[in-house]
Amino acid sequence: MFSVDFMINILGIISFLTIILLVITLFFKIEQMKTLQASFNKVKKQLDEMDEQAKLIMRTDLELNKTQEELDKKISGLYALQKLSRSIASTLEESQIFNMVDPARLAELGFEKACAFLWDDAQKRFLPQINIGFLAEEIEAIKNLVRAEKDKFLALIKSEKTFSSLSGLDPVLREKIKATGKVRAFVISPIMPKEGESGFLCVGTEDPDFFINEGDEELITILANQLGQTIENARLFEKTWRAQQDLEKKVEERTHELSRLLDEVKAISKRKTDFISSVSHELRTPLTSIKGYAAILLAEKLGKLPPEIRERLEKINRHSDELVHLVNDLLDIARIESGRMLMKKEPQELKELVATVEDLLGVQLKQKQIRFEADIPAEAQKILADRSQLERVFINLIGNACKFTPEKGRIGVAARKTDGSVQVDITDTGCGIPEEALGAIFEEFYRVDNAINQELKGTGLGLALVKHIVEAHGGKIWVKSSTGAGSTFSFTIPSG
């Protein structure tokens, strides 16, 4: 059998082994606990992170809601502002502009009260323009405040900035505005048209829940700018309208004056025509007698004439012819001017008419060995004219060309059909006409001061008569010439 010692030893060994086992088990348990603790920590960290994220999401959601609300407010504000701007811009009458600010639209912007003032430089004071929502005593108090603090309001306009009860404004003035207008919050913005005097717009609210922000200041700035722009347009329109009225008045006065002058000129011209006409008639009778007596004497019906008397009588006869010619031209001009001489417009053959005139002037042309060329194409052949009067036109123009063209020169007559009429150009290679004389050439009694005119006689009536005849046919006459370069007289006559 086992001894006690043996048993004790066995028990000791068993205990020792048990203790070792327990230690080993404990060690593993501790390790397990550590792993568990680590997992627990990880999970806790994740939970914390999730919690943070949830809080962030809630915060973001709140901010998003706020932004959305602000955005909604801004959109409805912009919508109201657009309507306000449109109705303001619909008038061009300065006195009507502020009446176009609709209180309902202004309320949509959050303000139930508004007033505006424009500076009057003549009176050196601000003049009230609108009152929306202020009681009579409130607006009176505001007017007094604006009067008392006019320098501060002028400085505010000069700064070109918008202020509100929130920011920027001198605290004393801010509190005064709040107190006088009985408003909790307000925005004040300058009105600055480019033309004329400026002013300001002040809007406010008593609403305790209304909190002004930068967006409100921006909207009121836009509204004040719109008012300034419309006032500027109205002033420009007024200015333009006045200028136009002035111009119309001036034009009317000038027209009146011109028609009075025209009547005067017509009366003078008639008096001149009547005078020439009666003087010419008076001259014609004695001239006819002079010519008659000279003819009787020259015919030697009263006895033979000594040569020196004959010579003088012939001179009297020649000069009387010239005078008769002059008197006839004057009478004709007077008759055409007064409308007493009517042109008998009949179909004529231009070529044949020119040939007749060439024949009539044949001697002069031959004497000076002048080459005469007529170029009248078939389509310019037929014209409508008073035969004898048109002959006078050609005789005068070709006669002048012959007179002012040196020997062996050239005279050309060319015709061409234009719109409803025939244009005739009479060209010569003569002395030409100085530029400064061209404007006066068709006036009665005008003659260029040159050597040929000093030598040869003339009345200065030929071209005036020609012009009257052409115009009495409904045509026009003009000249192109310069000294030494020949001349071209052109006129139009109705085609047949």
Q: Give residues in contact with ligand ADP (CB under 6 A).
A: 396, 400-401, 404, 428, 430-431, 433, 441, 446-448, 453, 458-464, 487
Minimum Å distance from CB 413 to ligand ADP?
13
Minimum Å distance from CB 431 to ligand ADP?
5
Residues 114 and 107: their CA atoms lie apart, in Å, by: 10
For 244-296, the DSSP string reads HHHHHHHHHHHHHHHHHHHHHHHHHHHHHHHHHHHHHHHHHHHHHHHHHHHHH
Residues 351 and 349: their CA atoms lie apart, in Å, by: 6
Mode of pairing for the β-strands spanning 163-164 and 421-428: unpaired
The tokens describing 27, both together, are: 């060690």
Minimum Å distance from CB 312 to ligand ADP?
25
Residues 400 and 460: their CA atoms lie apart, in Å, by: 11
Minimum Å distance from CB 403 to ligand ADP?
6
Residues 146 and 158: their CA atoms lie apart, in Å, by: 15
**Residue 248 vs 443, nearer CB to ligand ADP:** 443
Mode of pairing for the β-strands spanning 199-205 and 371-375: unpaired
Length of the chain: 496
Minimum Å distance from CB 353 to ligand ADP?
19
Of 406, 404, 351, 353, the closest CA to residue 379 belongs to: 351
Q: Are 106 and 120 in contact (CB under 8 A)?
A: no
**Residue 117 vs 404, nearer CB to ligand ADP:** 404
Minimum Å distance from CB 237 to ligand ADP?
57
Residues 431 and 484: their CA atoms lie apart, in Å, by: 5
**Residue 384 vs 401, nearer CB to ligand ADP:** 401
**Residue 114 vs 448, nearer CB to ligand ADP:** 448
Q: Which residues pair with 186 in a beta bridge?
A: 204
Give the residue carrying structure tokens 């050439």: 441
**Residue 142 vs 333, nearer CB to ligand ADP:** 333
Minimum Å distance from CB 314 to ligand ADP?
22
**Residue 226 vs 429, nearer CB to ligand ADP:** 429
**Residue 124 vs 457, nearer CB to ligand ADP:** 457
